Amino acid sequence: MKNILNLVIITLLIFSCKENKSKPNELASSSETTEYSGTASVTQGIATTIAEDIYSCERGRKTDVGEITSTDGKKWIVPAQTNYTNNDFPFAGNLFNSCEGKNYATTKEALASFDNSKLIEIDEDGEIFTAYIFADNYFEMYVNGIPVGKDKVPFTEFNSSIVKFKVQKPYTIAMKLVDWEEHLGVGCEENRGKSFHNGDGGMVAVIKDAQNNIIAKTDESWKAQTFYTAPIKDLSCVSEEGNYRYSKNCDTNGGQDGSSFYALHWELPNEWMNADFDDSNWPNATTYTNKAIGVDNKPSYTNFTSIFDDSDNDAEFIWSTNVVLDNEVLVRYTIK
């Protein structure tokens, strides 16, 4: 009996030692996961909704805005601080917009319906240019720092836009691009059987002169920088090399619960939209195929492939280095 009792005591002591040894390892693993030494501010979990339904469309997703505080005490508007409700920032015209019943079948039809009083004059003696834009999901466009057009539909249904402006060459186009989100603060939406599915972005643009010549199109020569990346499941997956902000090694599978997902936020530089802003250290844009963006079933794109997919001057979808996880991206290009 005594031997049995001793055996039980020894067994309990061994088990207790094993438990005590395992706990520091678990903490170390958790610590490694949450360590981050990059330049971004870090948030975790779902943001607080501060504005609901800033736009509504019968078949569109709910379009809200949120706020979240990062570990360094900064407050961030998600998915981005935009001018959507700013009446001084003009709306773009419709190339295709099913939310408003503007289901134009051709560019000619859309242009005939464009209100030319909405043309933005930057230089009185400038030339007139027309930009055709498809953005997933939202854009704000500046020319030489002057607002010339913002997307009418922040989220969905998918639309495309026309922006007209009068300016002298050379001039600089600067755009804020936003991949809107249903779950604020973690870059996710309910889709494909997952409550927290990663959305994706992408923007294509063609700029024509008054003679209908293409004078610029989106490609890898544009500059592009990300300022909001989510969802991040493990902060060790991200890296930075100079001004490159990489999340290429991060999980993009989403999940059913995003309450523990992280997000990275960077402050936008002052006057990023101005012509004299120095973007020389920004990465060049990354290009993506139509298939990667998933536009082959969207009439807001396919009705206008004669513009976007011109056989002699094909425009490419652009974004930052990660079209899935990067949710707020600034792009710039100078037309000479």
Taking the domains of the chain in order of start, what are their residue ranges? 42-335
Instruction: Write the DSSP assignment of 117-186 as a string of letters.
Output: GGPEES-TT-EEEEEEEEESSEEEEEETTEEEEE-S-SSSS--EEEEEEEEPSSEEEEEEEE---SBTTT
Taking alpha carbons only, the member of 219, 216, 206 closest to residue 131 is 206
User: How confident is the model over 24-39, as a mean pLDDT?
Assistant: 53
DSSP state, residue 92: P
Q: Given the structure tokens 């994706």, which residue do they identify? A: 200
Taking alpha carbons only, the member of 178, 158, 81, 167 closest to residue 128 is 167
Q: Inform me whether the pLDDT recorded for 320 exceeds 80.
A: yes
Q: Could you tell me which residues come within 8 angstroms of residue 9 by beta carbon, excluding any fewer than 6 positions away?
A: none
Confidence of residue 193 (pLDDT cuts 50, 70, 90): confident
φ, ψ for residue 27, nearest 5 deg = -65, -40
pLDDT in tens, 104-127: 999 999 999 999 999 999 999 999
Alpha-carbon span 16 to 20, nearest angstrom: 6
127 and 209 Cβ atoms separated by less than 8 Å: yes
13: left (phi over 0), alpha (psi -120 to 50) or beta: alpha
Alpha-carbon span 89 to 141, nearest angstrom: 10
Q: Inform me whether the pLDDT recorded for 229 exceeds 50.
A: yes
pLDDT in tens, 211-222: 999 999 999 999
Confidence of residue 34 (pLDDT cuts 50, 70, 90): low
Residue 6 confidence (pLDDT): 45
